[in-house]
């Protein structure tokens, strides 16, 4: 590697470090209730501390930017599921057909399996009872056929293999 390539690598690292820091700071701004000098300074300190700890402990996120599209989709699914569970509960007949289902996952990493299990548990009316290498055991108020496969595929796009 010559000196120019080494120099470009430094700028590439520096650029991604800055982008990640700016994204963390923007998330901080979204979470803070009042934007004052005090909260901005605390935000910068926290972002620098998090970035410093992540760099020196060699922590790499197992997720890519696909998480940005996954979260809104998951929020939509949570909303739709909440309405469905409300409809089932408020129905005079209460058509609850609770089932335990073994769901085979295509996730190869622990992060992918955990994200999948947590996403299912976040969805109203469902609960991940067991998580193992072979798949998940899920309790559901009503049998659901489509979303586990779609959720699994979407998580595959989010999690780095």
Q: What is the pLDDT of residues 9-52, one digit of tens each?
A: 444 556 677 888 888 889 888 888 888 899 899 989 988 888 87
- Give the number of other CB atoms < 10 A from CB of residue 159: 24
How far, rounded to the nearest angstrom, does the alpha carbon of residue 38 sit from its chain's CA centroid? 30
Whether the CB-CB separation of 102 and 128 falls below 8 Å is answered with no
Query: Quick check: pTM over 0.85?
Result: no
Question: Average pLDDT of 83-88?
Answer: 87
pLDDT band at 69 (very low <50, low <70, confident <90, very high): confident
Report the percentage of the chain scoring pLDDT > 90: 12
d(CA 53, CA 46): 10
pLDDT at 133 over 60: yes
pLDDT at 74 over 50: yes
pLDDT at residue 145, as a whole number: 56
Residue of 98, 86, 104 whose CA lies nearest to 139: 98
């Amino acid at each position: 590697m010559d000196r120019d390539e080494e120099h470009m690598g430094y700028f590439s690292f520096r650029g991604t470090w800055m982008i990640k820091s700016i994204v963390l700071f923007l998330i901080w701004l979204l979470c803070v209730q009042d934007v004052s000098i005090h909260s901005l300074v605390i935000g910068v300190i926290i972002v620098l501390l998090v970035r410093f700890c992540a760099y020196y402990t060699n922590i790499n996120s197992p997720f890519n930017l696909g998480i940005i599209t996954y979260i809104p989709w998951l929020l939509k699914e949570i909303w739709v599921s909440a309405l469905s569970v409300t409809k089932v509960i408020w129905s005079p007949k209460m058509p609850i057909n609770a089932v335990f289902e073994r769901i085979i996952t295509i996730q190869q990493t622990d992060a992918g399996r955990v994200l999948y299990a947590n996403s299912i548990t976040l969805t109203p009316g469902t609960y991940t009872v067991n998580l193992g290498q072979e798949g998940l055991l899920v309790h559901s108020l009503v049998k659901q056929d489509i979303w586990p496969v779609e959720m699994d595929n979407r998580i595959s796009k989010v999690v780095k293999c």
